[in-house]
Amino acid sequence: MTEPLFVIPLWADLTAVALGGVQGALFASGFRGQRRLDMLGVAIIGIVMGMGGGLIRDLLLGVAPSTLQSNWYLLTATAAALVGMLLAGLFARLNNVIVGLDALVIGLFGAFGTSKALVLGLPVVPAIFVGVCAAVGGGILRDIIMGLPVAIMHVSSLYGVAALAGCAVLAALDAFGVDLVLAAIIGVVVTTTIRILAVVFDVSLPEQRMLYRRKVAVETAAIPIVRPSAEPEA
């Protein structure tokens, strides 16, 4: 359970935690109606988004969670969640900021997950898998805890593919002897770029079958991710 050789410096790890915490709190602050959260709930989502990726990574790797070996991770995630709440109060529409932060966070967690797995000696396929789980795991936990449809499972904008591509590029570069830090930076850039471009150009994966196409488009649009609070009950 000692990891003397692990390459991610604390400041980089804490940056990912902080960005995840801000993003989570911004996301959670946006809910109204039945899904509205109190301050503790917003803080929990911030902490889940800041710490979840690292926890899932270390559970999969079978090592004691490194985010719990120091006071700094939780203090950073909590402070970031508070900052996220304040920012949510200052700005009316933060959708672009949330999407951009989200893209960067999945890039960072994916790269750190795959790097750590490679350093611990995992084969390349599981190392990519651990990175993808670390990247998208926080968001899955968030959606489950908030009772939302799990975003990555529904016809969406290449969310998981972006993480997969970045982690695969990282692992491939590492296999060809590229320095791991450089490989990780390239991996972050790949994931973040794909994710942002997917949102900008509204790209989706093909559905597994092309039947009922028109009907699905209507129904997908009808998924009530956030119920408008002005909606009449009856």
> For binding to a copy of itself (CB under 8 A), which residues are involved?
1, 29, 32-34, 36-42, 44-45, 55, 58-65, 67-71, 73-75, 85, 88-89, 122-126, 129-130, 140, 144-147, 149-150, 152-156, 160-161, 204-209, 212, 215-216, 219-220, 222-223, 229, 233
Q: How far is the CB of 33 from a copy of itself (least distance, A)?
A: 5
> 125 or 182: whose CB is closer to a copy of itself?
125
Residue with tokens 């079958």: 209
* Closest CB 93 distance from a copy of itself, rounded Å: 15
Least distance to a copy of itself from the beta carbon of 163, Å? Answer: 11
- Please give the single-letter amino acid code of residue 44: I
For residues 147 and 130, what is the distance between their CA atoms, to the nearest angstrom? 25
Residue 221, CA distances (Å) to 23, 94, 154, 232, 234 in order:
24, 21, 11, 19, 21
Of the pair 200, 205, the CB lying nearest a copy of itself is at 205
In this structure, the number of other CB atoms found within 10 A of the CB of residue 64 comes to 13
Q: How far apart are CA 114 and CA 147, in angstroms?
A: 29
| CA–CA dist 76, 132 (Å, integer) | 23
In angstroms, what is the minimal distance from the CB of 74 to a copy of itself? 5
CB 8 within 8 A of CB 98: no
CB of 117 to a copy of itself, least distance (A): 8
Closest to a copy of itself by CB, 145 or 185:
145
Give whichever of 9 and 123 is closer to a copy of itself, judged by the CB atom: 123
Going by C-beta distance under 8 Å and a sequence separation of 6 or more, which residues neighbour residue 69? none
